[in-house]
Structure 1
Amino acid sequence: MANKSSGGGDRRGSGSRQTTVKLRTARGRTASSQRWLQRQLNDPYVAESKRLGYRSRAAFKLIEIDDRFKLLKKGQRVVDLGCAPGGWTQIAVQRVGAPDKGQVVGLDILPLDPISGAELLLADFTEAEAPELLKAKLGGPVDVVLSDMAASSTGHRKTDHIRIVMLAELALDFAFEVLAPNGVFVAKVFLGGSERDLLNPMRQAFRQVRHFKPPASRSESAETYVIATGFRGRPETAGEADPEPEEEG
């Protein structure tokens, strides 16, 4: 197990030994639910998130992103879009020192229990009033916009890809409105060829744009994260396509 001292606590590495846990009974469960439960029971990130009191294993994705790119700093103001059940919000609170030094505001369509140090809003981000609610709560520019939003899976990979890119585009448009100079934008995407409309304006608006798949992201998942740093301001037009963003991982 690797020891992370920068706000993330201990994190279980891929080389750690773990005894395989088997389901005691499959009665009443579908094959897919059996596979999901078996995976959960034997996932070291799930076990470690429970041990550390994180709301979800997704907390480790943000830990790994921030450990690599050093995005979150004490005193920053952070927006967490699609924050339920709250794992990313918890890490953001730890790393920016909210509420004493920084500010973290989370929003989700699903209700969630309060998180110490964070301000939470219950709203659908795709509705017009949601961005305005966030702006009113923030009261000024922010340093980081995080988006781990994902639409419910249809089982059709191309459709799911289009839907998650649409959410990332909405998050990016919001980031253009609220980010302070040199701000940061992080969003989940599924790589699939239709994210050009997302990446072109992002490359113009930020000094650097990279893709990163954190180790905590399951290998079979198509998800990755786009990391944009050094906000320069909203681009006037999308323009021509620039070279593909740098891959890290």
Structure 2
Amino acid sequence: MSRGSGPSGRRGPAVRVKTARKRSHSSTLWLQRQLNDPYVAEAKRLGYRSRAAFKIAQLDDKFGFFKGAKRIVDLGAAPGGWTQVAVERAPNATIVALDILPMDEMGGVTVLHMDFLAEDAPERLKTALGGKADLVLSDMAPPTTGHTKTDHLRIMGLCEIALAFAEEVLAPGGTFLCKVFQGGTEGALLNRMKLCFATVKHAKPPASRSDSAELYVIASGFRGAPDEDTE
């Protein structure tokens, strides 16, 4: 995927989907949105496993975190759209992808099918990496409940755990990228990131749907976990 990543050209006429007898109205709306999404069509044309490939490519276009990365961790990787972009943009890197959901194997990637919250997950990731990581990606998200505050707390909890793992495995100067929800990163977590990293920014790539609450925090220039006394 080249720089300036995204679908180009004119969109065709909108596709309308009738509600089938065994399909709920919400499922019909989801299907209609998929069929009319230019990123879905472009992902299929280019052979990407998901439209999410464009999100990480657009974030990299802006922040350049794949450049020079030798070891990369992709948390919440399934079905593998982000991982495909990582392979393209860091072809010589050691890449480890993890998800509790099924994910097909990918050339040049170690795929771990397991729960990141499992007790042995961090050690298995470290073993597969074989050294300090330059980049930790997390697109992990819990199942949504429809209750905004509850969903926000759940995804922030995953972000906290992913950050704790990043602090253990990142090399000096490394980058941590994590999905959060609108409202950004909670104060305490944001303050910790600012202690650990030289720069912390939020971004919403063009490929994120306008009605989606997702947002990404990009923390770069890792300088080590802070002493507990300094927090």
TM-score (norm 2): 0.94
Q: Contact between 1:74 and 1:96, CA under 8 Å: does it hold in 2?
A: yes
Aligned length: 231
Query: Aligned partners of 2:170, 2:218: CA distance in 1, in Å?
Result: 14
Q: Does 1:229 align with 2:220?
A: yes
Structure 2 counterparts to residues 35-114 of structure 1, below 5 A: 35-74=29-68, 76-97=70-91, 101-114=92-105
Measure how far apart 1:212 and its partner are: 0.1
Q: Contact between 1:202 and 1:228, CA under 8 Å: does it hold in 2?
A: yes
Measure how far apart 1:19 and its partner are: 1.7
Higher relative contact order (CA 8 A, sep 6+): 2
Q: Contact between 2:72 and 2:94, CA under 8 Å: does it hold in 1?
A: yes
Q: Deviations over 1:166-214 (max 9, x none)?
A: 1011110000000001000000001347722321110011000000000
Q: Deviations over 1:14-48 (max 9, x none)?
A: x8433211215533211110110000000000000
Q: Does 1:138 align with 2:132?
A: no
Please, what is the CA RMSD of the aligned residues? 1.8
Query: Aligned partners of 1:74, 1:204: CA distance in 2, in Å?
Result: 24
Structure 2: where are the runs of 5+ without partners? none
The equivalent residue for 1:247 is none
- Match for 2:2: what amino acid? S
What SS does the corresponding residue of 1:143 show, helix, strand or coil?
A: strand
Q: Deviations over 1:69-89 (max 9, x none)?
A: 111025521000000010001
The equivalent residue for 2:25 is 31
Query: Aligned partners of 1:207, 1:194: CA distance in 2, in Å?
Result: 16
Runs of 4+ in 1 over 4 A off after TM superposition: none
Q: Deviations over 1:95-120 (max 9, x none)?
A: 101xxx21110000012111122110
Structure 1: where are the runs of 5+ without partners? 241-249
- Match for 2:29: what amino acid? R
TM-score (norm 1): 0.88
The equivalent residue for 1:170 is 161
Measure how far apart 1:127 and its partner are: 1.6
- Match for 2:24: what amino acid? T
